Structure 1
Protein backbone atom coordinates (compact mmCIF):
# COMPACT_ATOMS: atom_id res chain seq x y z
CA UNK A 1 0.00 0.00 0.00
CA UNK A 2 1.48 3.34 -1.09
CA UNK A 3 0.31 6.25 1.08
CA UNK A 4 1.18 9.85 0.31
CA UNK A 5 2.75 11.76 3.20
CA UNK A 6 1.14 15.13 3.88
CA UNK A 7 3.60 18.01 3.90
CA UNK A 8 3.15 20.32 6.93
CA UNK A 9 1.78 23.77 6.14
CA UNK A 10 1.07 26.83 8.29
CA UNK A 11 -2.60 27.27 9.19
CA UNK A 12 -3.97 30.79 8.54
CA UNK A 13 -6.16 30.51 11.65
CA UNK A 14 -3.85 29.23 14.43
CA UNK A 15 -0.48 29.88 12.79
CA UNK A 16 0.77 26.39 13.62
CA UNK A 17 2.39 23.99 11.18
CA UNK A 18 0.09 21.02 10.56
CA UNK A 19 0.02 18.18 8.05
CA UNK A 20 -3.74 17.64 7.72
CA UNK A 21 -6.34 20.19 6.70
CA UNK A 22 -8.08 21.89 3.80
CA UNK A 23 -7.02 24.40 1.15
CA UNK A 24 -9.19 27.32 0.13
CA UNK A 25 -7.70 29.01 -2.91
CA UNK A 26 -4.04 29.20 -1.85
CA UNK A 27 -4.53 29.19 1.94
CA UNK A 28 -4.38 26.27 4.39
CA UNK A 29 -6.68 25.65 7.38
CA UNK A 30 -5.80 22.76 9.71
CA UNK A 31 -8.38 20.12 10.63
CA UNK A 32 -8.63 21.35 14.22
CA UNK A 33 -9.41 24.95 13.23
CA UNK A 34 -11.84 23.82 10.56
CA UNK A 35 -13.74 21.75 13.12
CA UNK A 36 -13.79 24.61 15.63
CA UNK A 37 -15.03 27.07 13.00
CA UNK A 38 -17.89 24.75 12.06
CA UNK A 39 -18.97 24.49 15.72
CA UNK A 40 -18.73 28.24 16.43
CA UNK A 41 -22.01 30.14 16.61
CA UNK A 42 -22.28 33.60 15.01
CA UNK A 43 -22.95 35.08 18.46
CA UNK A 44 -19.70 33.66 19.86
CA UNK A 45 -16.86 36.18 20.35
CA UNK A 46 -14.49 33.86 18.48
CA UNK A 47 -16.66 34.10 15.36
CA UNK A 48 -15.27 37.58 14.53
CA UNK A 49 -11.73 36.25 15.01
CA UNK A 50 -12.38 33.52 12.44
CA UNK A 51 -13.90 36.02 10.00
CA UNK A 52 -10.81 38.21 10.31
CA UNK A 53 -8.50 35.30 9.60
CA UNK A 54 -10.61 34.12 6.66
CA UNK A 55 -10.23 37.56 5.07
CA UNK A 56 -6.59 36.60 4.42
CA UNK A 57 -7.84 34.25 1.73
CA UNK A 58 -9.21 37.11 -0.37
CA UNK A 59 -6.24 39.38 0.25
CA UNK A 60 -3.69 36.85 -0.98
CA UNK A 61 -5.53 35.28 -3.90
CA UNK A 62 -3.19 36.90 -6.45
CA UNK A 63 0.02 36.08 -4.55
Structure 2
Protein backbone atom coordinates (compact mmCIF):
# COMPACT_ATOMS: atom_id res chain seq x y z
CA UNK A 1 0.00 0.00 0.00
CA UNK A 2 1.09 3.59 -0.53
CA UNK A 3 1.55 5.67 2.60
CA UNK A 4 -0.34 8.97 2.50
CA UNK A 5 2.45 10.67 4.49
CA UNK A 6 5.70 9.60 2.79
CA UNK A 7 4.06 8.28 -0.40
CA UNK A 8 6.24 5.16 -0.28
CA UNK A 9 4.93 1.65 -0.82
CA UNK A 10 4.93 -0.23 2.49
CA UNK A 11 3.28 -3.36 3.83
CA UNK A 12 2.89 -2.53 7.53
CA UNK A 13 0.90 0.32 8.97
CA UNK A 14 -2.54 1.54 9.94
CA UNK A 15 -5.68 2.60 8.12
CA UNK A 16 -7.50 5.79 9.09
CA UNK A 17 -10.73 6.68 7.31
CA UNK A 18 -9.72 4.43 4.43
CA UNK A 19 -6.23 5.93 4.10
CA UNK A 20 -2.97 4.09 4.83
CA UNK A 21 -0.14 5.38 7.05
CA UNK A 22 2.98 3.22 7.20
CA UNK A 23 4.37 2.09 10.55
CA UNK A 24 7.48 4.26 10.15
CA UNK A 25 5.47 7.45 9.60
CA UNK A 26 3.07 6.57 12.41
CA UNK A 27 5.98 6.17 14.82
CA UNK A 28 7.64 9.38 13.68
CA UNK A 29 4.41 11.38 13.93
CA UNK A 30 3.69 10.15 17.45
CA UNK A 31 7.19 11.10 18.59
CA UNK A 32 7.29 14.51 16.88
CA UNK A 33 6.98 17.47 19.22
CA UNK A 34 4.68 20.32 18.18
CA UNK A 35 7.74 22.62 18.14
CA UNK A 36 9.59 20.36 15.68
CA UNK A 37 10.01 21.79 12.18
CA UNK A 38 8.48 18.63 10.66
CA UNK A 39 5.22 18.96 12.65
CA UNK A 40 3.50 21.27 10.10
CA UNK A 41 4.33 18.76 7.35
CA UNK A 42 2.53 16.01 9.24
CA UNK A 43 -0.49 18.28 9.82
CA UNK A 44 -0.68 19.07 6.11
CA UNK A 45 -0.42 15.43 5.13
CA UNK A 46 -3.03 14.36 7.70
CA UNK A 47 -5.52 16.88 6.31
CA UNK A 48 -5.55 14.73 3.19
CA UNK A 49 -7.47 12.08 5.16
CA UNK A 50 -10.54 14.32 5.11
CA UNK A 51 -10.13 15.47 1.51
CA UNK A 52 -9.82 11.93 0.15
CA UNK A 53 -12.61 10.66 2.37
CA UNK A 54 -15.05 13.15 0.85
CA UNK A 55 -13.86 12.57 -2.71
The answer for the alignment partner of 2:37 in structure 1 is 45
How many angstroms does 1:26 deviate by?
1.2
Between Structure 1 and Structure 2, which shows a larger proportion of strand residues?
1
> Highest CA radius of gyration, 1 or 2?
1
Gaps of at least 5 residues in structure 1 are 1-8
The answer for the alignment partner of 1:12 in structure 2 is 4
The correspondence for 1:57, drawn from 15, 26, 49, is: 49
Gaps of at least 5 residues in structure 2 are none
Which structure 1 residue ranges, 4+ long, deviate > 2 Å from structure 2?
A: none
How many angstroms does 1:62 deviate by?
2.6
TM-score by length of 2: 0.95
